[in-house]
């Protein structure tokens, strides 16, 4: 995987309405007491390519402005589970609107299992990168989901990029609210800095060529 030059500002390829409708269509997103879906769109991206997408839960809400400024489209919803995130990826796949890189920062709600990661890899499919952000458990513990993600990154080193938030945040109680899970503003800065490590891999080094319009001169010319 290789890094690209600095992205250029361009109009979003996925409309705000499309992504909002996809978030609402995912099963179980509307839960009492969990709030609504919050989306912050990438400030810039290379022309003709979709910005990387980060999916998170309530622990990501304060990070949205910084992530979008850095170049992510970030989508967070309180109480979101990994299965709900897979539903969003399925909707994007069906609409041919999956970006080159997707980050999943989930697992504190409903846990995470190896089949979930396998399903995410199947949905984003060929040549795309899955970023896994290890989840802290309530109280700040490192649980089974983090161990599963580390194992998946080892097994799929060519497709999975691990950002070990659990390990990175050890010894930093000032980054967290009293529940040791939700972030303070210092924690937001640290979390966003960690996700920035994935940005060099955000775009395909060989983006697809735009389709030619039927009836164009290029279509009418035959090789000699």
Q: Taking the model in full, what pTM does it have?
A: 0.80
Question: 60, 108 in Cβ contact below 8 A?
Answer: no
Task: Give residue for tokens 């799929």.
Answer: 156
CATH code for the structural domain at 19-28+37-205: 3.40.50.1110
Contacts of 103 (CB under 8 A, 6+ apart): 52, 53, 54, 55, 72, 130, 131, 132, 133, 163, 195, 198
Break the chain into its structural domains and give their ranges: 19-28+37-205
Task: Give residue for tokens 């846990």.
Answer: 111
Reading the chain (224 residues) residue by residue, the pLDDT tens digits are 333 333 333 434 454 445 544 454 444 444 546 889 999 999 999 988 999 999 999 999 999 999 999 999 999 999 999 999 999 999 999 999 999 999 999 998 888 999 999 999 999 998 999 999 999 987 777 889 999 999 999 999 999 999 999 999 999 999 999 999 999 999 999 999 999 999 999 998 876 555 444 433 333 233 33
The interaxial angle of helices 82-94 and 114-124, nearest 10 deg, is 10
């Amino acid at each position: 995987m290789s890094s690209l030059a600095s992205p250029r500002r361009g109009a979003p390829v996925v409309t705000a309405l499309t992504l909002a409708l996809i978030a609402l269509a995912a099963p179980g997103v509307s839960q009492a007491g969990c709030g609504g879906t919050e989306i912050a769109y990438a400030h810039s991206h290379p022309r003709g390519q979709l910005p990387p997408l980060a999916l998170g839960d309530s622990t990501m809400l304060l990070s949205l402005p910084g992530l979008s400024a850095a170049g992510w489209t970030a989508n967070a919803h309180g109480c979101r589970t990994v299965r709900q995130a897979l539903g969003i990826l399925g909707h994007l796949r069906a609409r041919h609107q999956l970006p080159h890189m997707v980050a999943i920062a989930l697992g504190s709600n409903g846990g995470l299992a190896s089949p979930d990661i396998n399903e995410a890899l199947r949905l984003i499919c060929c040549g795309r990168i899955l970023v896994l952000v290890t989840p802290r458990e309530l109280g700040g513990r490192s649980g089974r989901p983090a161990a599963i993600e580390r194992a998946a990154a080892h097994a799929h080193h060519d497709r999975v990029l691990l950002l070990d938030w659990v390990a990175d945040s050890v010894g930093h109680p000032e980054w967290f609210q009293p529940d040791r899970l939700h972030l303070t503003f210092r924690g937001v800065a640290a979390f966003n800095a960690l996700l920035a490590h994935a940005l060099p891999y955000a775009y395909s080094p060989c983006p697809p060529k735009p389709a030619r319009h039927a009836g164009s001169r290029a279509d009418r010319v035959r090789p000699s």
